[in-house]
Structures are given as structure tokens and as C-alpha cells.
């Protein structure tokens, strides 16, 4: 599997920006190498174009997310089970996360190393609100790719080996912030419901 991924990555890299776009799009709903590897290589080769590469990644990945959503919506659980044979039980986990965090769950998967493709297909199956899904996907993917490109643009090779730590640190901060916002909002809604019930 590793050798196949290496060949795929080399194939995408040989196509330049087009390869980056295709890689980013397909990775959102199918098992191919994450576009981060190619994005990092291209950022280091041409730092002045780093933000352009991040934009390409974000747009293509968001489009791929829409494709994944449609696959789930029209293909249902049988397609999910066929595509993710080793992760069939993940659909229940995704559903539990949706019930708890709503569109924040999509944002987390889009930004973190959690398999985003599983969430895109599952979102369609679970009939998640498409607009919320797309916004969460776009923001999550954009945040991930732009952080990578900005860090490499300013610090180059010296920070390459610490990229995962940078992403992890930012992930923790964003997750904590989102949970606080979610709980605060939940608390306000609960108080309003109780107030309305009293009236």
C-alpha cells in the first residue's frame, strides 16, 4: 500500500498545480495520499506561490467534499460499506459526533488528521444540512492548508519537521474554542427554552 501511495504521489507531483488540485479533490472522498505532502513540497520549492497553492488545495478539496456528500446521499450505507470496508463501524461514530457537535464535527475532520473522506460520505448518508456541511468543510480545509503554507512560506525547511506539532497545537486551540462556543450557545438556548416554558 505504501508503494502505491508513493507512485500516486509522484504521479500527482509530475502534473504540478493540476496534480495538486486533483489530489486534493479525490482525497476528500477516496483513498489516495493526503495532499499535504505535495503541498509541502511545492511550498518549499516556490515559497512565493505558497498561498496560491493553499487556495488551490482548499477549493479542490471543498469540491471533493461535495462529491463525497453526493456519493453518500445517493449511494447510502451500502456504498459507504464498500468504500470503507475496514471502517464500517465509523458511520455510527460519525453519527454520534453529529448529534453532539453538529457541523463542528465536519470542521474537526476537515482540519485535523481525522479521515475527512469518511465524514464527507457519512454527511450525505445522514442528510446533514448541505450549506452547513459545505461551510464547515471549506473553513476546515482552508484553515489546515493555509496554516501549512503560511508556516512554510515564512520559515521554510527549518520548520518542516515540526509541522505536525504546529497543526496539533492549533487543532487543540480551535477544538477548545469551538467546544466553549458550542456549550455557551447550548446554555443560552436552554435558558431561553426554560424561560419560554415558564411563560
Instruction: Please provide the average confidence, as pLDDT, over all residues in the chain.
Output: 84
Query: Which structural domain range is residue 155 located in?
Result: 2-198
- From residue 82, how far is each of 31, 88, 154, 172 by CA, in Å? 12, 9, 42, 33
Whether residue 125 contacts residue 73, with contact meaning beta carbons closer than 8 Å, is answered with yes
> What percent of the chain clears pLDDT 70, i.e. is strictly above it?
85
DSSP-derived secondary structure for 74-102: HHHHHHHHHHTGGGTTHHHHHHHHHHHHT
Query: Is the pLDDT confidence value at 1 over 60?
Result: no
Whether residue 136 contacts residue 106, with contact meaning beta carbons closer than 8 Å, is answered with yes
What is the pLDDT, as a whole number, of residue 3?
73
- From residue 30, how far is each of 82, 118, 174 by CA, in Å? 11, 9, 26
Whether residue 57 contacts residue 39, with contact meaning beta carbons closer than 8 Å, is answered with yes
What is the rounded average pLDDT of the residues 160-170? Answer: 72
Number of structural domains in the chain:
1
Query: Is the pLDDT confidence value at 156 over 70?
Result: yes
Query: Is the pLDDT confidence value at 61 over 70?
Result: yes
pLDDT, tens digit, 9 for 90 and up, residues 81-100: 888 877 767 788 888 888 87
Amino acid at each position: 500500500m505504501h508503494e502505491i501511495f508513493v507512485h500516486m504521489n509522484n504521479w500527482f507531483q509530475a502534473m504540478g498545480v493540476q496534480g495538486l488540485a486533483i489530489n486534493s479533490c479525490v482525497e476528500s472522498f477516496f483513498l489516495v495520499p493526503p495532499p499535504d505532502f505535495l503541498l509541502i513540497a511545492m511550498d518549499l520549492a516556490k515559497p512565493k506561490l505558497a498561498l496560491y497553492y493553499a487556495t488551490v488545495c482548499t477549493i479542490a478539496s471543498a469540491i471533493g467534499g461535495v462529491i463525497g456528500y453526493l456519493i453518500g446521499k445517493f449511494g447510502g450505507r451500502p456504498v459507504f460499506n464498500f468504500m470503507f470496508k475496514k471502517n464500517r463501524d465509523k458511520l455510527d461514530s460519525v453519527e454520534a459526533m453529529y448529534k453532539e457537535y453538529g457541523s463542528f464535527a465536519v470542521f474537526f475532520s476537515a482540519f485535523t488528521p481525522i479521515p475527512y473522506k469518511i465524514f464527507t460520505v457519512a454527511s450525505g448518508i445522514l442528510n446533514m444540512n448541505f450549506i452547513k456541511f459545505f461551510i464547515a468543510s471549506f473553513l476546515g480545509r482552508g484553515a489546515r492548508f493555509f496554516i501549512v503554507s503560511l508556516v512554510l512560506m515564512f520559515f521554510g525547511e527549518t520548520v518542516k519537521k515540526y509541522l505536525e506539532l504546529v497543526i496539533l497545537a492549533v487543532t487543540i486551540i480551535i477544538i477548545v474554542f469551538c467546544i466553549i462556543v458550542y456549550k455557551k450557545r447550548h446554555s443560552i438556548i436552554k435558558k431561553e427554552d426554560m424561560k419560554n416554558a415558564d411563560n
